[in-house]
Structure 1
Amino acid sequence: MPTTRTRPTPVPTASAPAPTSPSPLPPLREVWFAAWPVVAVFILSNAAMPLYVVWQRHMGFSSGTLTLIFAAYMAGLLGALLVAGVAADRIGRKPVLVPALLVAIAACVIYATAGSVLTLVAARFLTGLATGAAVSAGMAAVTDIAAGRRIGPLLASTAMVLGAGVGPLLAGVLSETAPAPTVTVFLVEIVLLLTALAAVVRMPLPPRHPKNTAAPVSAGTRPTWIRVPSVPRTNRRHLALGLAAFAPGMTTTSFVLALGPSLLTGLLGTTNRTVAGAMAFGMFLTAAGVQFAVRRLALRTVLLASTAATAASMLSLITAVRTTALAPLIAAVVLAGAAQGMGQFGGLSLLSREVPIDRRAEANAALNAGGYLLAGLFPVADGYLSDLIGLSAGTTTFGLTVITLAAAGATLILTRSAKR
């Protein structure tokens, strides 16, 4: 007969008497339900990717303008990370997630009715805001409900990459087969976001201390709501170790997403949006699957494997660009997915295990801020450099730079982490 697991009984304090009995853990299915809002938001984060060629043809904007549209997403995401993690730790996960999902729905409406570059910039910015909230408050909610079970960080991490992969595939298929391609995609996404909103409302989150401030505050000072996300001093090493693998791994997937469609056009002679979406889906499906494969390994091993996959992916991408061969491009796609998946799972698991619950959302925000900042800057810089010295030379330069970062990350992991 199965036993019922319970939450650990909190230590009684002067302001909070000890409960008479420990509260039972939510069923495992509730952890899966809690991951759905993260999936839904990340579907939106990449859903526009196959559609830019359609908008570009209708609106006539340049590749430089397209870079600005991508930059609007990064601005929204990083801006949300300055607030969402702190807010989620202070006032709770739901008060952050509900507005974020409403913002995501508003972004879908703007995408579906977009008639100018300015509206695309606005939609992309709002998408970034919603994504920033999802990676901080949403992923923290999953690990909170899991209550120490290792499935929590695993599902939080795989929800992110699975949604990121489903988005371009869904958009590619619908835009090639359904009428009004730039409208149908986002009508479907609105339905998905409404179901995610229902999932947030019913989340069985653990009770929070009413006086939680998410960080120590000096006497006579007011708590800061907008700040660069951080972790407690004792957890800085854990954050650094997570970033050492996650940031280069995420940058690798950004490179592949940026260069993949043009390489596919040259290698296969096709501009079919479903093919480009399938490539992205395959990469992120690998990122999700590899996390289940390595979930029982020591975290140090997982992080080191991520840095190795990053280096191998970049070498494969450089080979694909220089030889215009399909096999190294496929290898780059698979290895990039494995690199991000393992780096993300290792970093998130480390923070979930070591960081106190009242700083967990902010810790997630700090991990993702570092990863997204590097992943956003490098491909843009590579694009400008490639315009000056050519695609092959530019990709080689930045590919070798990412390999160097991965090697430095591996060195840090080997010298600063315990064997567990």
Structure 2
Amino acid sequence: MASTAVAATQRTQTVHPQRWSYLLLLSLLALALGCSGLPSPLYPIYQEQWDMSPLTVTVVFAVYAIGALGSALTVGPISDAVGRKPVLITALVSILTGLVLFLIATSAWQLILARFLHGMAIGAITVVAGAALLDVRPHDGARNGMASGVALNVGITITVLGAAAAAQWTTHPLRVPFAVVGVVVLAMLAAVIALAEPHTGRTGGRVRIQRPSIPQEIASDFWFSGIGIMTSWSVLGVFLSLYPALTQQATGHTSIIFVGIVVAVMAAASAASQWLSGRIDPRKAAITGDLGMIVSLLCAIWALRSGSTAFVIIDSIVLGAAFGLAFGGSLRHLNDVAPPEARGRVMSAYYLLGYLAMGIPTVIAGALSSRFGTAAVFPWFAVAVALACLVAALLGALGGRTRPVTESPVNL
């Protein structure tokens, strides 16, 4: 009985001299994904005012994923060696630089450069802040994964709604949202500067960038989680880039606030499902989410063809809830098994798969949309991702956690 109480206390205590460090790290994750989704409700304005094609929009979105891939390949080992704090400070400065570019942008190449900087910065924050959460609360990996997923989606919800409202009711819709977020980033930068380094076990030695690898003993667990983020983030990429304009065309709503609502309800439903499923076995949650995404993706085709505002909103909520289960379940599972000495590189490998799945399908969908039209391409994309979700669910149902005797790393 006493040991159970001690274990419960360990799971809720922060192993860090600053008790607010845990909330700060969660806030950084929320800020990161908020900046990721910030331009989403503004893409229709860029398309209209700057005559940007669907391909250009997806390129702007995809270079974000390319920048994030670079971070996923490098920042894990760097933060393991030199600490989390220097990486987080550098990332926040990069976000500020990208926001300034958005503020002064007059052509697509400036947007591309700004999104590349944001991709590098946001990729760094998601990997390093996720690892730092495990440094701060090492005894509660699954709960850290749930809290991380909720924070990421809350960040998108608040930022997208705020950007849409600013775009709808201000005279400078392509300037005000970035200025407001810039003030928030400055405040977060000051807080991180005041933060005591969470990673007390850093080596301080020479940083050796190697190709992503994960410890052999968690190989099967990692690949189960990796498939979960790949299927869910491939949906996220297209829904944050092409879907906003598509819903406007299908429903006849031209207001930017409508676009913000569609994206925000999806993100809010994802946050809620991750929070409510925190006590469900992560593997079961991820499988349920994959099955739910199959249904909601196919229903999205019907909702768009019907042109019904209510159906589009309802399907976005269902899709968000399923996304939350698939992504949240995979992240909780990985947090629960990642060994302390390899947290940085495990998170790097995990998000590397996610950003690959986000960027590649998005560019393909954008290129095809420029030639055949978004409305014609979307059903094929939805069916393809639904099939991938089915494969993920089957692998999750048939697979089981195994721990090989060897401990040599598995290269990706």
TM-score (ref. length: structure 2)? 0.87
Q: Which structure's relative contact order is higher, taking Cα pairs within 8 Å and 6+ residues apart?
A: 2
Matches within 5 A, 1:19-418: 29-149=20-140, 150-206=142-198, 208-211=200-203, 224-225=208-209, 227-386=210-369, 391=374, 393-418=376-401
What's the CA shift for 1:336? 2.3
Separation in 2, partners of 1:239, 1:3: 29
Cα distance 1:135–1:291, how it changes in 2: closer, same or farther (>3 A)?
same
| Code of the aligned partner of 2:333 | L
Cα distance 1:259–1:72, how it changes in 2: closer, same or farther (>3 A)?
closer
Q: Secondary structure at the match of 2:271?
A: helix
Q: Is the 8 A contact 1:348 1:364 kept in 2?
A: no
| Code of the aligned partner of 2:35 | L
Q: Is the 8 A contact 2:132 2:198 kept in 1?
A: no
What's the CA shift for 1:241? 0.6
Cα distance 1:212–1:404, how it changes in 2: closer, same or farther (>3 A)?
farther
Cα distance 1:126–1:386, how it changes in 2: closer, same or farther (>3 A)?
closer
Cα distance 1:64–1:210, how it changes in 2: closer, same or farther (>3 A)?
closer
Separation in 1, partners of 2:137, 2:14: 13
What's the CA shift for 1:207? 5.1
Separation in 2, partners of 1:165, 1:174: 14
Separation in 2, partners of 1:271, 1:179: 17
What's the CA shift for 1:27? 7.7
Greater C-alpha Rg:
1
What's the CA shift for 1:355? 1.3
Cα distance 1:386–1:194, how it changes in 2: closer, same or farther (>3 A)?
closer
What's the CA shift for 1:44? 1.4
Matched with 1:216 is: none
What's the CA shift for 1:252? 2.2
Cα distance 1:198–1:266, how it changes in 2: closer, same or farther (>3 A)?
same
What's the CA shift for 1:24? 5.6
Separation in 2, partners of 1:27, 1:210: 19
Cα distance 1:64–1:405, how it changes in 2: closer, same or farther (>3 A)?
closer
What's the CA shift for 1:259? 4.5
Cα distance 1:232–1:209, how it changes in 2: closer, same or farther (>3 A)?
same
Separation in 2, partners of 1:276, 1:23: 39
Report Cα offsets for 1:202-236 as digits up to 9, x if no partner: 445545235377xxxxxxxx8632x4433212222
Q: Is the 8 A contact 2:84 2:199 kept in 1?
A: no
Q: Secondary structure at the match of 1:231?
A: strand
Q: Is the 8 A contact 1:37 1:200 kept in 2?
A: no
Report Cα offsets for 1:327-386 as digits up to 9, x if no partner: 442343123212322222222222221111232122222222212212222233233334
What's the CA shift for 1:158? 1.5
What's the CA shift for 1:387? 5.0
How many pairs align? 396
Q: Is the 8 A contact 2:269 2:324 kept in 1?
A: yes
Cα distance 1:175–1:146, how it changes in 2: closer, same or farther (>3 A)?
same
Q: Secondary structure at the match of 2:332?
A: helix
Q: Is the 8 A contact 2:38 2:163 kept in 1?
A: yes
What's the CA shift for 1:393? 4.9
Cα distance 1:145–1:369, how it changes in 2: closer, same or farther (>3 A)?
same
Q: Secondary structure at the match of 2:214?
A: coil
Cα distance 1:212–1:311, how it changes in 2: closer, same or farther (>3 A)?
farther
Gaps of 5+ in 2: 403-412
| Code of the aligned partner of 1:198 | A
Report Cα offsets for 1:258-293 as digits up to 9, x if no partner: 443234323442221111112111111111111111
What's the CA shift for 1:103? 0.4
| Code of the aligned partner of 1:316 | C
Cα distance 1:228–1:169, how it changes in 2: closer, same or farther (>3 A)?
farther
What's the CA shift for 1:60? 3.9
Separation in 2, partners of 1:315, 1:289: 22
| Code of the aligned partner of 1:155 | A
Cα distance 1:4–1:365, how it changes in 2: closer, same or farther (>3 A)?
closer
Cα distance 1:211–1:197, how it changes in 2: closer, same or farther (>3 A)?
same
Q: Which range moved further: 347-356 or 100-109?
A: 347-356
| Code of the aligned partner of 1:274 | I
| Code of the aligned partner of 1:34 | L
Cα distance 1:383–1:57, how it changes in 2: closer, same or farther (>3 A)?
closer
**Percentage of identical aligned residues:** 26
